[in-house]
Amino acid sequence: MPRRTHHNLQNAAPPRGNELAADTELSILRDVIRMLPTGVTVQDEQGHFLLVNDAAAAQLRMAGVEPAAPASRELDHRRKTGIEVLRTGRPAIAEECVASGHAKQVYLTTHRPVRIADRNLLLSSSADISEQKAVEDHLFRSAYYDELTDLPTRRVIEHRANALLKREEPHGRFALAFLDIDNFKHINDYYGHAIGDALLVEIARRLGLDLRESDMLSRISGDEFLLLLDPIQSEHEVSEYIRFLLERLRAPFFIDGSEIFASTSIGVSLYPEHGRSYDLLRQNADIAMYRVKNEGKGSAAFFDASMEREAQARMKVEQSLRLAILEKRFCCAFQAKVDIRTQDIKGIEALVRLRDDAGVIQAPDTFINLAVELGLIDELTHLVLAEIVKSIDLINETFGPGATISINVAAKQAGKPEFMRPFAAAIEATGYPERFMIEVTEDAFVTKTHFQDQILPIFRKIGVRISIDDFGIGYSSLSALADITADEIKIDRSFITDIHKRPRSQGILRAIESLSEALGMTVIAEGIETFEELAYLQAATKIRYAQGYYFSRPIFLEELKPAIPLASAARASPASRPPQENRPVYARGERYRR
């Protein structure tokens, strides 16, 4: 009996142990499912939740839904998805966005049909991919949207234009407008980059007003925008819209307490008249925009064939300029700065000239601006300095060893420490830096560049003097002179021409002269061409120095005979000069100015 009882107990124990183990495993499984970081739900065919773990419950409550409310509108999409999954028997994957106030979560949810205990059930699992989606969205916007203005980038508008070119409508027309903000660098320099960025945002906002859903505005670079107008009916329609756009942009911008005026130059190309590819349409709109820039800025132009010929000619000049710099085919002409009381030479200005492929001397107005635009002006300025150093003995013999030597530096260069510091070192290395005068336009002083506070002290330290060139035609006023540290001021020839006949110019001249005298700056009158202009300066002003064709045209050193130095000729009295009508006449395009 005892043995049989023991046997029965052994036979009876396993079932009770299996049940206990199963209950324990089931309890563990429930706890595991409940605590999974992934949301897990099980629903029946009517949408009732049979199982909801903690993560899924939190997700549902974030959406304002209780798991016991299957008919809630917030769950309609899931209910419909579940019905479709149970009907087809195929799993489905969907992204679900759940928002509560400012919080937003994105879940990747998998719905899978299962059959358990003869029931068709929907097993759903949701993984939080919010952080991954945020990274993806950031990368997407970085690639396809401008960070500052939130406008589409160039690749987006290019894709859109190419899609329009491939559409099946053979007679569809659209316009591509290239917009460039005028003098944006000056605005950046004067007001600072923070204001410049704010201005770009405001301009983008104005450009985007009244655009149709089918239009697109893109920022393609710093101050350049592309506008796609689709569809269009006629050139007149586009012209009217662009005219309205220009008027809107001419209104002042009020940014951080500053009132800023900014105009825009616009070039427009039309499909299919001006091209049948995006690249050609964009290029032609760009060409039309440059025509506007060259003719005064602040307006718009449609592309035409003559512009293409001009662009090709410009490209030819650009290639020639690059080759000329590579081959060092530049030379210097020198023009004297003369004491109008004693006829002594005070100094000379080095004026760069280009010899073309045929050996013909080209005036600087054919290449200087292009050199600045292409970033070649730095190398060109160093070439001028090298030419001076090479010719210093002949310069001394011709003009005198005490004559200062002026070199022109563009305002764009003057604000660049990476150019000006090495240039100052190169001047110091000549061994006679005190002979040099750097001529910069007033823009270099009055804009917020590094010139006044960082660059100028470097030149002062080595003895180089500073001259304000072309004064009176830039952005500054007379009051700006009070903050300028310069040795010399050159009054632009636009104030000097026929000065004896122009009372208003005479008044301006007296004001500049008085202020310059008070600030200890030497005044030089540029562009003296007639005896009457000289006589007025001698009789009615205290100005001592002048420069211009009346005294001498720009002279190449090889033209001079060392035995007859210009210094001697310049001291000759005006009475000994030939009458003006017998002197050679030089075209204004070949004047002494660079």
- The burial class, CB within 10 Å (0-12 / 13-18 / 19+), for 541 is middle
Reported as a pLDDT band with limits 50, 70 and 90, residue 484 is: confident
Query: Dihedral of CA 543/544/547/551: which sign?
Result: positive
Instruction: Give the residue with greater pLDDT, 86 vs 196.
Output: 196
Residue 404's nearest CA partner among 191, 200, 547 is 547
Q: What is the mean pLDDT of the chain?
A: 82
Residue 526's nearest CA partner among 377, 372, 349 is 349
pLDDT > 50? residue 33: yes
Under DSSP, the state recorded for 454 is: I
pLDDT > 70? residue 76: no
Reported as a pLDDT band with limits 50, 70 and 90, residue 323 is: confident
Average pLDDT, integer, range 562-587: 40
Under DSSP, the state recorded for 452 is: I
Query: Dihedral of CA 563/564/568/573: which sign?
Result: positive
Q: Lowest-confidence range among 163-172, 355-364, 406-415? A: 355-364
Average pLDDT, integer, range 56-70: 70
pLDDT > 60? residue 576: no
Contacts of 532 (CB under 8 A, 6+ apart): 498, 500
Under DSSP, the state recorded for 583 is: S
Under DSSP, the state recorded for 448 is: S
Per residue in 365-391, pLDDT tens?
778 888 887 888 899 999 999 999 999
Instruction: Give the residue with greater pLDDT, 531 vs 70.
Output: 531
CB neighbours of residue 20 within 10 Å:
10
Q: What is the dihedral of CA 370, 376, 382, 384, to 10 degrees?
A: -20
pLDDT at 584: 34
Instruction: Give the residue with greater pLDDT, 11 vs 61.
Output: 61
| 256: alpha, beta or left? (left if phi > 0; alpha if psi -120 to 50) | left
pLDDT > 80? residue 75: no
**Do β-strands 345-355 and 330-339 pair in parallel, antiparallel, or remain unpaired?**
antiparallel
Residue 234's nearest CA partner among 156, 297, 171 is 171
Residue 168 · residue 254 · CB < 8 Å: no
Quote the CA–CA distance of 501 and 486 in Å, as a whole number: 30
Residue 219 · residue 148 · CB < 8 Å: yes
pLDDT at 463: 95
Under DSSP, the state recorded for 145 is: B
Alpha carbons within 13 angstroms on the beta-carbon side of residue 236 total: 0
Q: Which residues pair with 110 in a beta bridge?
A: 93, 125
Quote the CA–CA distance of 416 and 400 in Å, as a whole number: 33
- Find the angle CA(118)-CA(123)-CA(126) to the nearest 5 degrees: 175
Structure tokens at 250: 């001419």
Residue 124 · residue 113 · CB < 8 Å: no
Q: Lowest-confidence range among 30-44, 129-143, 474-488, 524-538? A: 474-488
Average pLDDT, integer, range 422-429: 95
Residue 414 · residue 458 · CB < 8 Å: no
Average pLDDT, integer, range 255-269: 92
The letter for the amino acid at 406 is S
Average pLDDT, integer, range 506-517: 87
Average pLDDT, integer, range 508-529: 88
Instruction: Give the residue with greater pLDDT, 68 vs 366.
Output: 366
Cα distances (Å, whole numbers) of residue 543 to 208, 355, 516, 534: 54, 36, 10, 10
pLDDT > 50? residue 593: no
pLDDT at 47: 76
Three-state DSSP state, 122: strand
Percent of the chain with pLDDT over 90: 41
Quote the CA–CA distance of 41 and 47 in Å, as a whole number: 11
Residue 181 · residue 125 · CB < 8 Å: no
Quote the CA–CA distance of 58 and 27 in Å, as a whole number: 21
Query: Dihedral of CA 418/420/425/429: which sign?
Result: positive
**Do β-strands 258-260 and 264-271 pair in parallel, antiparallel, or remain unpaired?**
unpaired
Under DSSP, the state recorded for 584 is: P
Average pLDDT, integer, range 134-162: 88
pLDDT at 528: 93
Q: Where are the beta strands (DSSP E) in 272-320?
A: 300-302
Q: Which residues pair with 362 in a beta bridge?
A: 354
**Do β-strands 224-229 and 216-221 pair in parallel, antiparallel, or remain unpaired?**
antiparallel
Per residue in 468-482, pLDDT tens?
988 876 555 555 666
Average pLDDT, integer, range 505-524: 88
**φ, ψ of residue 190 in degrees (nearest 5):** -75, -45
Quote the CA–CA distance of 390 and 385 in Å, as a whole number: 9
Quote the radius of gyration of the chain (alpha carbons, Å). 39
Instruction: Give the residue with greater pLDDT, 11 vs 113.
Output: 113
**Do β-strands 404-408 and 488-491 pair in parallel, antiparallel, or remain unpaired?**
unpaired
pLDDT at 245: 94
Q: Distance between the two ends of the chain, CA-based, in angstroms?
A: 129
Query: Dihedral of CA 545/549/554/555: which sign?
Result: negative
Q: Lowest-confidence range among 170-174, 272-276, 330-334? A: 170-174
Average pLDDT, integer, range 426-451: 85
Three-state DSSP state, 470: strand
Structure tokens at 427: 């001047």
- Find the angle CA(7)-CA(10)-CA(15) to the nearest 5 degrees: 140
Quote the CA–CA distance of 569 and 232 in Å, as a whole number: 69
Structure tokens at 513: 């002269």
Quote the CA–CA distance of 354 and 366 in Å, as a whole number: 9
pLDDT > 90? residue 439: yes
Per residue in 211-249, pLDDT tens?
999 999 999 998 999 999 999 999 999 999 999 999 999
Q: Which residues pair with 184 in a beta bridge?
A: none
Reported as a pLDDT band with limits 50, 70 and 90, residue 405 is: very high
Reported as a pLDDT band with limits 50, 70 and 90, residue 68 is: low
pLDDT > 90? residue 203: yes
pLDDT > 60? residue 157: yes
Quote the CA–CA distance of 288 and 282 in Å, as a whole number: 10
The letter for the amino acid at 86 is L
Three-state DSSP state, 553: coil
- Helices 193-208 & 235-250, crossing angle to 10 degrees? 140
Average pLDDT, integer, range 34-62: 84
Query: What is the reported pTM?
Result: 0.55
pLDDT at 178: 97
